[in-house]
Amino acid sequence: MGETILEMQHIAKAFSGVYALKDAQLTLQKGRVMALVGENGAGKSTLMRILTGIYDHDGGTILYKGQPVHFKNAMQARDAGIAIIHQEFNLFPNLTVAENIFLGDKSVQSHGLVDWQAMNRRAQELVDSIGGTFSVEEKVQELSVQNQQVVEIVKALAANAEVLIMDEPTSALPESEVQHLFRTIRGLKARGVAIVYVSHRLNEIFEICDDITVLRDGVTAFLSEVGATTQQEVVAQMIGKEVTVLYPKQDAEIGGVVFEARHLSDGDTVKDLSFCVHKGEILGLYGLVGSGATECPEALFGLVRGAHGTFLMDGREISLHSPAQAVANRIAYVPPDRHRQGIIRQLSIRFNLTLAVVRRLCTRSVIRRKDEQATVDDYIRKLRVKCAGDSQKVTFLSGGNQQKVVIAKWLATNPALLILNDPTRGVDVGAKAEIYSLISELACAGMAIVITSSEISEILGMSDRILVLNEGVVSREFLRGQADQKSLLSAALMRPDETQGGV
């Protein structure tokens, strides 16, 4: 074991009363790579944000080089030698590589002026030293993604980082570049840098990491040397005890195929998806961040430029290049970010509810108030929206009721296929149950429904059939009752070609 450089003990953090972290531990050693894994929402990013000073922690201590520290902001952490490489790079695309590495650094200035020669020379040395093969005089926007990542690593080196956090470092890399990154990581280890490797990809973790920490519901649940554990055990530790929640899912009569997608790709995350949805069926899509599970619905609804595939609605081929086309083909989409994508907050319930059908309610471009009122009354009653009246502004509704308004807006279009992208995000427990029974009722009434969720139990509880996505393709398919949390998560963690062997 190397020398301990950092210890986070009993870290707790709550956001408006909800615990993101309860008792998290993390110990890092010089020259070793620590894997940090956990399900969506287990608290990995919160923990890393606390370590890098972006968030303040409510409880616990951080010991860095034996001293208790309390970083107030990202700069303090960075100056102390703790650097992070986010999934989204923090680079200046319009500046050169050398400038990105040394911007604001006094050591490359002479007499208050930027010494370009010295800066370029030192930057090139650093880039060369970790095997980079590009000129530091190039602008960052002209580099490939993998080379931009190298710039981020060099930036950390130039700032004398002793702890380097890499958040999903391989998610943006092509397969062929992963080994290159690993060589770089081994080089960093040899320099004594302690690395936190945050990832969903167990294969990579078992290849490059020395130790592993599993976070579960804000608690460090498991800690081991990688060599002393197995992928199966890690998966089991991520899930912990199975919690059974009762979902109000009724058995609906499942009919013929309503919608079929063949070879759907969004040119990015979603690689090649083919599936069909039946009348009365709830199809669950599950996958970890970056798997394509949340991106697939967006592509279906025509929100992604460059998405392509073949789509059939009731056996007839349709094209889905824009939301307008999707709506015209009777597809409805409830987006994950209610505030940004779902509602228009400062407007009334009535306005929001009839937004998608307002043209149908018009005679010669004038809204027929009576029909509008009837529609609004109808859906407020059917969906049990709790409000002071239909002229109430949506912003004053609870999260659950806002979501009901969004769903009602789409039901008013009388869709054949309803896509719900994480429909209960940020909704309290009571309202969740109501939304679940609503979804179930809709399926019973014969609607075809596609649902995604970041919560594994929601997918298990609501779906008639589950597709597990990984790397943009379907890695496994389960029928209702066939899957449990462990099998679902295992399928989501394994690369598609390995799942046949099982965990």
Partner 1 sequence: MKQHKSRLSRIFSAREMPIIVFTLLVYGAFSVMAPNFNTFNNVSVIAQQITINGIVALGMTIVIMIGGMDLSVGSLLSLCGVFAGMMDNAGLPVALTVLLTLVIGTALGALNGLLIVKLHIPDIIVTLATMNIFRGVAVMVTRSQWITDFSDAFLHIGSSKGGLFSIPILLYVAVAVVFAVCLRWLPFGRLLYAVGGNREAAVLMGLNVPSVKIRVYAVNGFLLGLAGLLFASMFGSIQAATAATSLQFQTMGSALIGGANIFGGAGSVLGTVFGTILLGMIKNGLVQIHASEYWLDFITGAVILLALLVNLIQLRKKGRC
Closest by Cα among 282, 206, 218 to 248: 282
Min CB(152)–partner 1 separation in Å? 11
Q: Closer to partner 1 by CB, 141 or 250: give it.
A: 141
Please report, for residues 25, 65, 321, 338, 341, the alpha-carbon distance to residue 302 in angstroms, rounded to integers and kept in the order given. 43, 51, 5, 18, 14
Of 9, 135, 341, 413, the residue at the interface with partner 1 (CB under 8 A) is 135
Of 13, 78, 200, 465, the residue at the interface with partner 1 (CB under 8 A) is 78
Strand order in the sheet with 316-318: 273-278, 257-265, 308-313, 316-318
**Can residue 56 be called a binding residue for partner 1 (CB under 8 A)?**
no
Cβ-Cβ contacts under 8 Å for 185 (sequence gap 6 or more): 33, 166, 195, 197, 208
**Can residue 142 be called a binding residue for partner 1 (CB under 8 A)?**
yes
**Can residue 362 be called a binding residue for partner 1 (CB under 8 A)?**
no
Task: Tell me how far apart the alpha carbons of residues 339 and 352 are, in angstroms, rounded to a whole number.
Answer: 12
**Can residue 180 be called a binding residue for partner 1 (CB under 8 A)?**
no
Q: Closer to partner 1 by CB, 15 or 116: give it.
A: 116
**Can residue 245 be called a binding residue for partner 1 (CB under 8 A)?**
no
Closest by Cα among 406, 436, 260, 270 to 341: 406
Task: Tell me how far apart the alpha carbons of residues 100 and 424 are, in angstroms, rounded to a whole number.
Answer: 40
Min CB(79)–partner 1 separation in Å? 8
Is 18 buried (19+), middle (13-18) or exposed (0-12) by CB count in 10 A?
exposed
Pairing of strands 211-216, 33-37: parallel
Angle between helices 369-382 and 399-411 (to 10 degrees): 130
Provide the sign of the torsion angle of the four alpha carbons 442, 444, 450, 452, taken in this order. Answer: positive
**Can residue 75 be called a binding residue for partner 1 (CB under 8 A)?**
yes
Of 17, 104, 389, 481, the residue at the interface with partner 1 (CB under 8 A) is 104
Of 113, 190, 324, 366, the residue at the interface with partner 1 (CB under 8 A) is 113
**Can residue 112 be called a binding residue for partner 1 (CB under 8 A)?**
yes
Q: Closer to partner 1 by CB, 118 or 312: give it.
A: 118
Tell me how many residues contact partner 1 (CB under 8 A).
Answer: 28
Amino acid identity, residue 86? H
Stretch that binds partner 1, among 87-95, 202-210, 277-285, 368-376 (CB under 8 A): 87-95
Q: Closer to partner 1 by CB, 90 or 482: give it.
A: 90
Q: How far apart are the first and last CA of the chain?
A: 30
Q: Closer to partner 1 by CB, 144 or 179: give it.
A: 144
Min CB(159)–partner 1 separation in Å? 10
Is 405 buried (19+), middle (13-18) or exposed (0-12) by CB count in 10 A?
buried
**Can residue 144 be called a binding residue for partner 1 (CB under 8 A)?**
yes
Of 103, 245, 328, 479, the residue at the interface with partner 1 (CB under 8 A) is 103
Of 70, 145, 186, 319, the residue at the interface with partner 1 (CB under 8 A) is 145
Of 2, 15, 94, 337, the residue at the interface with partner 1 (CB under 8 A) is 94
Within 333-398, residue ranges assigned H as helices are 349-353, 369-382
Closest by Cα among 250, 235, 294 to 42: 235
**Can residue 116 be called a binding residue for partner 1 (CB under 8 A)?**
yes
**Can residue 95 be called a binding residue for partner 1 (CB under 8 A)?**
yes
Min CB(370)–partner 1 separation in Å? 41
Min CB(82)–partner 1 separation in Å? 13
> Could you give the 3-state DSSP secondary structure of residue 446?
coil
Task: Tell me how far apart the alpha carbons of residues 471 and 498 are, in angstroms, rounded to a whole number.
Answer: 12
Task: Tell me how far apart the alpha carbons of residues 77 and 196 are, in angstroms, rounded to a whole number.
Answer: 15
**Can residue 3 be called a binding residue for partner 1 (CB under 8 A)?**
no
Stretch that binds partner 1, among 58-66, 129-137, 273-281, 320-328 (CB under 8 A): 129-137
Stretch that binds partner 1, among 2-10, 136-144, 197-205, 295-303 (CB under 8 A): 136-144
Asked if 50 contacts 56 with a C-beta cutoff of 8 angstroms, the reply is yes
Amino acid identity, residue 217? D
**Can residue 129 be called a binding residue for partner 1 (CB under 8 A)?**
no
Closest by Cα among 218, 183, 200 to 293: 200
Asked if 330 contacts 313 with a C-beta cutoff of 8 angstroms, the reply is yes
Q: Closer to partner 1 by CB, 104 or 389: give it.
A: 104
**Can residue 134 be called a binding residue for partner 1 (CB under 8 A)?**
yes
**Can residue 114 be called a binding residue for partner 1 (CB under 8 A)?**
yes
Min CB(139)–partner 1 separation in Å? 8
**Can residue 122 be called a binding residue for partner 1 (CB under 8 A)?**
no
Min CB(142)–partner 1 separation in Å? 6
Min CB(27)–partner 1 separation in Å? 26
Task: Tell me how far apart the alpha carbons of residues 131 and 102 are, in angstroms, rounded to a whole number.
Answer: 19
Task: Tell me how far apart the alpha carbons of residues 304 and 325 are, in angstroms, rounded to a whole number.
Answer: 13
Q: Which positions touch partner 1 (CB under 8 A)?
A: 73-75, 78, 90-95, 99, 103-104, 109, 112-114, 116, 133-135, 137, 139, 141-145
